[in-house]
Amino acid sequence: MMDGGGVMDGTSVVTGGDASGGALDANVVAMMRKVADWQLTQGGTNAIDWIHGAMWTGIMATYQTTGDKKYLDAVTAWGTANKWSLAGGVTTNADNQCAAQTYFDAYLLNPGAASMNLVMGAKPSFDAMVASGNAGWTWEDALFMSPPGLTRLGVIQNDPKYFQLLDTNWAKTYASLFSVADGLSCRDPNCNGVYWGRGVGWVIAGLARVLEYLPANEPKHDFYVAQLKTMAAALKPWQATDGLWRSDITHPMRFPNPETSGSGFMTFAIAWGVNAGILDRATYLAVAQKGWQGLVTCVDVATGKLGCVQAVGAAPGAAAPGSSAPYGTGAFLLAGSQVARLGP
């Protein structure tokens, strides 16, 4: 397998509300609805693999942005159909854990004993990692798939053991994959200066998703903040004039076509950083807004289908205008949920 897998084919919460203090951007919200509505008409959406797990993070973000119950109803129907469980049952494979972050987001909308069934299907998988001490995050995609759920579970259970597992295992992945010199993450060890757009997107979006819930007094909190800042600074000069990043970030002419899944995750994380007060607004507001404008140009306005999504893979590659995939939609909707809050 590829892409989602390691082998080939007081709490600082910022979730909802408008950080600018004003109304949400109606045009952004309307485009989110169009894309989400198209995706929900497509077959296979009840799957709980990482491809669809990433999509459902965006559908939940659409509910949190619009307050429209039909999106929460879709999440609830998906979770219920799957008994709020994970692919593979009790699993320590990060790919199979992606769905958990949306289950836990749903629980956190109405926390309490009556909603614990939304947690208990996935909790044993994270507990198995705690018991072993090893999360197995050996490829960069894993940092989006597993840590956001792990962090949310730590908040739900009010138990630091989940944050401790996060810290020790994120540090291992950072040491193995992150280039301090370039400020970007490799997909796998020894990438030799090739930084894959979606892979880097998985990492920076994973950072934002962790920081949404990681307590501000958690010992490694500032480390995650610093890594997000470093990656945003490294990505800024590689944003193309159309607002998007290329699949091979630092060699953009290798695959010169737009690519929306990586760009969506990057735009989400940068916009989130601005809204959270982590990234300097004067420096990054335009980056996030330009990213969104680029993403919108890849939407079929008649249907809501998002194109220019690179297929499942493990390295940079081309993306045709008509190519779409559920994880690309998830990235787009996450981006919109934060760009809508940026204000003028």
108 closest CA partner among 41, 162, 157: 157
pTM of the model: 0.95
pLDDT in tens, 82-137: 999 999 999 999 999 999 999 999 999 999 999 999 999 999 999 999 999 999 99
Joined tokens for residue 48: 């709980």
Query: Residue 246: inside a domain, yes or no?
Result: yes
Query: Residue 13: inside a domain, yes or no?
Result: no
Query: Residue 87: inside a domain, yes or no?
Result: yes
CATH of the domain at 226: 1.50.10.10
What distances in angstroms separate CA 284 from CA 43, 91, 231, 267, 269, one per listed residue?
37, 38, 12, 10, 11
pLDDT in tens, 301-337: 999 999 999 999 999 999 999 999 999 999 999 999 9
> In whole angstroms, what is the distance from residue 144 CA to residue 146 CA?
6
Query: Residue 300: inside a domain, yes or no?
Result: yes
Number of domains in the chain: 1
Which residues, 6+ apart, have CB-to-CB distance to 55 below 8 Å? Answer: 39, 45, 326, 327, 329, 330
Band the pLDDT of 5: cuts 50, 70, 90.
low
252 lies in which domain range?
26-339
What is the reported pLDDT for 3?
A: 81
Query: Residue 105: inside a domain, yes or no?
Result: yes
Query: Residue 10: inside a domain, yes or no?
Result: no
Query: Residue 70: inside a domain, yes or no?
Result: yes
Contact indicator for 300, 29 with CB cutoff of 8 Å: no
Query: Residue 9: inside a domain, yes or no?
Result: no
